[in-house]
Amino acid sequence: MRKEVKIFLAGIFVLAFILLIYTFTQEKKMPLIQNECKTDSDCTKVQITCCPCNMGGQEKCVLKSEEETYLKNITEKCNSGEYRICPAVYSCNIKSCRCIEGECAG
């Protein structure tokens, strides 16, 4: 095979590889519609630590569709048998959850 043909084929291979990488990264950046809120009523407040926020724990605003997953994860985490002491500190900061630019926020 001639040298020019080998260089041409190598160039086509490199361009195809770059196109494949570009396509893959663009798909990853696209937001998933089911993970976005549309209205404030799509969002809810959940406990994310073993202690509730009125006993030093933390809370977060999430999609209502994700609430059950958070509750399951926190239940499994907190029932692991570790001894926990919750500080008697009020750390509830979220009054209500809102949908801001497709994300739940408090």
> What tens-digit pLDDT sequence spans the chain (106 residues)?
688 878 888 778 787 777 667 666 654 444 444 579 999 999 999 999 999 999 999 999 999 999 999 999 998 888 877 667 888 899 999 999 999 999 999 8
- Domain count across the chain: 2
Q: Which structural domain, as residue segments, surrounds residue 8?
A: 1-30
> What pLDDT, on the 0 to 100 scale, is given for residue 32?
42
Q: Are residues 82 and 101 in the same domain?
A: yes
> What pLDDT, on the 0 to 100 scale, is given for residue 26?
55
Q: Are residues 20 and 59 in the same domain?
A: no
What CA–CA distance (Å, rounded) separates 16 from 8? 12
* Residue 37 burial (CB count, 10 A): 22
Q: Are residues 25 and 37 in the same domain?
A: no
| Residue entry with tokens 């994700």 | 66
What CA–CA distance (Å, rounded) separates 68 from 42? 14
Q: Are residues 18 and 63 in the same domain?
A: no
Q: Are residues 95 and 77 in the same domain?
A: yes
Rounded to two decimals, what is the model's pTM? Answer: 0.61
Which DSSP state fits 32? Answer: P
